[in-house]
Structure 1
Amino acid sequence: MVAEAAIRGEGVALGRSVLIADDIAAGRLVVPFPQYKLKAERGYDLVYRTGSQDTPKVRALREWLSEEMRMLEE
């Protein structure tokens, strides 16, 4: 979804090269700094609209994800 927003001109995005390679090849996305690549293992971000962090649905998802991550660390 973030790549789609970047394609629409709504900003910039970080993306896994394997997932955005077709868009780069087709010219829909550009790599502004090709000399820099970030090594990523397993990482995800939870993003939501500003001001919605305390809505019941977002709070429930945050709490569930936090608990899942705690269980993975054990």
Structure 2
Amino acid sequence: MVTMQTIHCPHCGKLALRQRYGSVSHTQCPHCDYVLTMCDRTGRVLEAYTPEITHVGQYGANLTCTIEWTKALC
């Protein structure tokens, strides 16, 4: 089940979108390009990007994949 909510971006404070897919949450801000994909259960960051800071984890920078595959990384 996918749940969506509007939140304030932790980077710029403007409105951003958070989507939850089971234990994986994906936060994206259209104003400052902030992106965070993480496992809510373990706290493991799967993908993170801000205009000033780029984090490429051991799984690579591009995690455009199926939700089932992303859940396996948690």
Normalising by structure 1, we get a TM-score of 0.24
| Structure having greater relative contact order (Cα 8 Å, sep ≥ 6) | 2
Normalising by structure 2, we get a TM-score of 0.24
Instruction: Name which one, 1 or 2, has greater alpha-carbon Rg.
Output: 1
Larger % of strand: which? 2
